[in-house]
Structure 1
Amino acid sequence: MSKLLQNVNQRTQLAGENRLELLLFRLQNGQLYGINVFKVKKIIPCPPLTQLPYHHPHVVGVANTMDGPLPILDLLSAIQSGKVTEPRKQSVIVCEYNRRMQGFLVDRIENIVNLQWSDILLPPKGIGHRHYLTSVTRVNNQLVEIIDVEKVISEVTPVPEQMNSKISEDFAALKESKVPRTVLVVDDSVVARNQIKRCLAEVELDSVLLKDGKQALDHLTEMVNEGKKPAEEYLMVISDIEMPEMDGYTFTRKVKEDPRMKDIYILLHTSLSGVFNKSMVTRVGADNFIAKFDADDLASSVLDHFRKRSSPS
């Protein structure tokens, strides 16, 4: 399996071309699932686990690894589809989400597939797994379900959303500014959209929420076709990178290539990790990049841009 992932860091050319690679795996329910390869650090056999008192029911234990303690989550249990009975016989996909390492128990690793983001679709209503499914696709005529892992993790280990009071005070000092006070938020995860919305509301900024890059591009295109200037309607855009239909890199590149909307400020905000993100910010023309989710970091980034727009030229 190490050979399967050894070239992950060499695949950055897919980013910005509206392509991605999915690591396919199965749980004990037999269903085929996928996860973006860029989020995968490694795949290991399930190591010995230490049980913690008062742990969340979906966490089967903590493994001691060279990288430090690694919580291991029973993904089958988290999506309400059963429970793994023998964790040590499972594999563990080690990922980094929202600045934290997390292991997911899986029954079997399948392979890696190269797809267009346009092949990744929002799930049809009533497909199942409650509200944990973020998107779907088909590979060799098999349905692949892409779980909203951010939602799973947020319910197991919630991220603090309270921001530093000093940041709120700094925003209050700019209350008389004439710059737009609405932010366009683009993210396919309902958890992420609501986190950002609450963060912005705390500093008295409004938000318009959209689910993917295509929706956002269509929205901005409609505005300019009506003679409006997006930069005069919105303070900025906060966009995820991983999204069905059109990813954040492609969305950013298309916006920045259009002279009618290129002036709008785009902050890429994603749980994807890796040094490739910094180079991709420059490559696609994004104005800034921060990792999810830290309320202070997000609010500070918005505040910095708010100040710049509020200052006389």
Structure 2
Amino acid sequence: MSEQGILLESGTNELELLAVLINDQPFGINVAKVQSIQQYDQKSIAILPNKVPGVLGMLLYRNKTIPVMDLAQILDIEETIEYEREIVVVTEFNNSVNGFKVSGVRRIYRISWKDLVPLDQTIGDTNCFTGSVSIEGDQILVVDLEHILSTIFPDLIIEDVSEENLIKNERITRDQLQIIFTDDSSTIRTGVSRALKSAGFSNITEFENGFQTLQHLEMNFGNGEQDLSKVVLISDIEMPQMDGLTLCKNVKQNSNLKNIFTIMFSSLINKQMIAKCNAVKADNYVTKPETNQLIQLLDELCIGSAD
């Protein structure tokens, strides 16, 4: 199941969605995050003594214990339909394996990121969703598993900056590095920007999707007259409108933008995704939540530009 995503070519702005069901309402999970699908067995769940809201307990999975979360409870959906065989969707992202209980699964759909519509923030708390997409007459809300995980296990999303990385080398001018940071999650943007600024990287411009970022880069650096040696693009991969791989592909194919150092900063970095990053000519990649590795990589760029 987890290898489905490799079928997608790099930089096509496509994703595959696993449609899961809660009370017969479909919700979408990015297939690239899905490791397997298991039948839910309440007897196999070890209840935690100090119960965490939304966490059912621990499951022995492939010789390791993983937390299992109730997606209906997390999304505040009252389950009124009984399913004979409930499902646990086992995911892997942010270097972490977790299970999410759902009522059932429907099928996998292939869609374009441009068809994913961000939710209107005025309708209430929409942080648990990346956006919505209309498929075969159904409006499917795409679940933001990173945000959900951040509310339950914050350390898995944003890593604290180490004291070692707070120390600045005299040759490094961190504040002179122009960082373009793109992530559709406001939680991630706020946390990562705060971490980078605490280390002295103060020149950060934020965007919430690849389309906005590409417009900014073309407008501000597209004439080929600017020095790009101190410009860095840090981009998530999963984003509505335009994903990070497609953004990187467009940047590297533009003769006036191709020298912008591009870092893919994603929870999806694995062997298959590294191959996709290389295919679109990304300069490097860092797995969330390894903020310290990101800072070390930025420091290498600062030293290089100062020499």
- So what's the TM-score if we normalise by structure 2? 0.90
Matched with 1:229 is: 226
Deviations 1:226-282 (A, max 9, x none): 7763726x5311100111111111100101111111111110011114311222222
1:303 and 2:299 equivalent?
yes
Kindly state the Cα deviation for residue 26 of structure 1 after the two structures are TM-superposed: 1.2
1:1-313, aligned counterparts within 5 Å? Answer: 5=1, 8=4, 10-13=6-9, 15-28=10-23, 30-47=24-41, 48-82=44-78, 89-128=85-124, 130-159=126-155, 161-169=159-167, 171-174=168-171, 177=173, 180-206=176-202, 207-224=204-221, 229=226, 231=228, 235-311=231-307
Q: Distance in 2 between matches of 1:265 and 1:199?
A: 20
- Aligned AA (2:32): F
- Aligned AA (2:18): L
Kindly state the Cα deviation for residue 301 of structure 1 after the two structures are TM-superposed: 1.9
Could you tell me which runs of 5 or more consecutive residues in structure 2 were left unpaired when the two chains were aligned.
none
Contact 1:237-1:267 within 8 A present in 2 as well: yes
- Aligned AA (1:193): R
* Alpha-carbon distance change, 273 to 105 in structure 1, aligned in 2, over 3 angstroms: farther
Contact 2:90-2:98 within 8 A present in 1 as well: yes
Contact 1:46-1:88 within 8 A present in 2 as well: no
Q: Distance in 2 between matches of 1:230 and 1:209?
A: 20
- Aligned AA (1:147): V
Contact 1:25-1:110 within 8 A present in 2 as well: yes
Kindly state the Cα deviation for residue 298 of structure 1 after the two structures are TM-superposed: 1.9
Contact 1:220-1:230 within 8 A present in 2 as well: no
Q: Distance in 2 between matches of 1:148 and 1:9?
A: 17
- Aligned AA (1:212): N
Q: Distance in 2 between matches of 1:128 and 1:289?
A: 34
Q: Distance in 1 between matches of 2:103 and 2:171?
A: 53
Kindly state the Cα deviation for residue 294 of structure 1 after the two structures are TM-superposed: 1.8
Could you tell me which runs of 5 or more consecutive residues in structure 1 were left unpaired when the two chains were aligned.
none
Contact 1:184-1:236 within 8 A present in 2 as well: yes
* Alpha-carbon distance change, 253 to 204 in structure 1, aligned in 2, over 3 angstroms: same
Kindly state the Cα deviation for residue 89 of structure 1 after the two structures are TM-superposed: 4.4
* Alpha-carbon distance change, 6 to 35 in structure 1, aligned in 2, over 3 angstroms: closer
RMSD of equivalent CA atoms? 2.4
- Aligned AA (1:46): Y
* Alpha-carbon distance change, 268 to 67 in structure 1, aligned in 2, over 3 angstroms: farther
* Alpha-carbon distance change, 137 to 244 in structure 1, aligned in 2, over 3 angstroms: same
* Alpha-carbon distance change, 85 to 59 in structure 1, aligned in 2, over 3 angstroms: farther
- Aligned AA (2:40): C
SS at match of 1:242: coil
Q: Distance in 2 between matches of 1:91 and 1:230?
A: 53
SS at match of 1:231: coil
* Alpha-carbon distance change, 208 to 75 in structure 1, aligned in 2, over 3 angstroms: same
Equivalenced residue count is 302
